[in-house]
Amino acid sequence: MFSMLLGYPLPDAPWVGWISPILGTVMYVWGGAPFLTGAVSELRARKPGMMLLIALAITVAFLASCGASLGLLHHELDFWWELALLIVIMLLGHWIEMRSLAQTTSALDSLAALLPDEAEKIDGDSTVTVAPADLVVGDLVVVRPGGRVPADGRVVQGSASMDESMITGESRPVRRGDGDPVVAGTVATDSGLRVEITAIGDDTALAGIQRLVTEAQNSSSRAQRLADRAAGWLFWFALGAAAITAAVWSMIGMPDAAVIRTITVLVIACPHALGLAIPLVVSIATERAARAGVLVKDRLALENMRTVDAVLFDKTGTLTKGAPAVTGVEPTAGTDEDRLIALAAAAEADSEHPLARAIVTAARDKSLSVPASSDFESSPAVGVRATVDGHIVQVGGPHLLDQEGGEELPVADHWRDEGAIILHVLIDGEVAGALRLADEIRPESRQTVHALHARDVEVVMITGDAEAVAA
């Protein structure tokens, strides 16, 4: 074929005629393997479809080409070139489809990464390090400050602010104590816990989320289902057309032509367009949606987007940044705003709590000079205490004020109505100011909402944060 197209002579040697059969056999066995195994599955399920039709075409082309090369069939049945081209085209469509699906594969990897590599199991009076997969229901484990829970369980000792954003999406830590349930992958931000394991492996909430993501990724679109159904009908039509061809050419007394044309019908019946066009369209649509910030996990949903008249948004991490930030500062008389943030950041510098990191980040973003601190102490559900520039600086919530006999600033009620987190800063026992912390709205989220409204699409938001609704 190439010598004819490019006009170069082939060597006059016996081995030249075996190049096509050898390479064609490799193509059929190796390149055609996905379609052959898929055809076996469709046969077992008694549901002929795309894979069976492709396997039929390449198998007939392979057998006919072998017969032609061995001199058993007519030389016109040499389909090595068509066989190779057919497999390449169908593999290209298969690869395009897999690449479009691979865009969401990282979601499963991210979920798996939420589990710790090791767990500290309590064995008598000591602890042993084991893999989370080796835990059984009833085991007691230690979750240290900043550590992740290795499996679903129940707190039997201790109290900690848990970062449960991987389950709920909410950036605000939730206090968990004796008897409260905890979920695999969540983080104890400020204190250690002892947890009794209540679910492992596929029974955990995280495993359930992974199953949902996997099912979404493996879903097929309506176009893909239509193509599979068409391929199933085309399989029977191809067999019927081949049988009619063989019968007609045999009845008119041309059995050799009957074999040639019957095999040709079976080869050309392979659904090139169905096998290549559907994955290509899905891939292009998925990539264009991804560039616009829409991650499509269910291809059926992609086709239904043209009929959308309402969009339901999860607030945290979607319309917002998903992490608390200092969004307001209220110093008392005689206290500078920047100094208040700097002192609070100095006191929180050694804390791993998400709110502490937000305060330290706020000082860094304002390029403030944060003084060194010493004698750091952290009290769960109360706050932190440290010595900064010779002053005792404390940062905490309502329990800190109750403990120190302080009064909330008047602005606290307004901030609380907006759903914000309020921390007060005390210097030498006196309230020096308050900090407002909340999840920030992404700038691009406003553009998205305005664009949807401009297209008469209703926007609905899931949130418990009054501030987000107002914004």
Nearest alpha-carbon partner for 412 in 386, 393, 426, 433? 433
Quote the CA–CA distance of 466 and 420 in Å, as a whole number.
Answer: 8
Q: How many other β-carbons are positioned within 10 Å of the β-carbon of residue 107?
A: 17
Amino acid found at 165: S
What is the distance between the alpha carbons of residues 413 and 420, in angstroms, rounded to a whole number? 10
The answer to whether the CB of 184 falls within 8 A of the CB of 227 is: no
Catalytic residues: 314
Residues in the chain: 471
Q: 80-102 vs 50-69: helix axis angle to the nearest 10? A: 150
Apex 212 CA angle, 207 and 215, nearest 5: 125
| H/E stretch holding 190 | none
Residue 231, classified by CB atoms within 10 Å of its CB into exposed (0-12), middle (13-18) or buried (19+), is: buried
Q: CA-CA distance, 89 to 8, in Å (whole number)? A: 26
| Packed helices 272-291 and 222-251: angle between N→C axes, nearest 10 degrees | 170
Contact 135, 152 (CB under 8 A): no
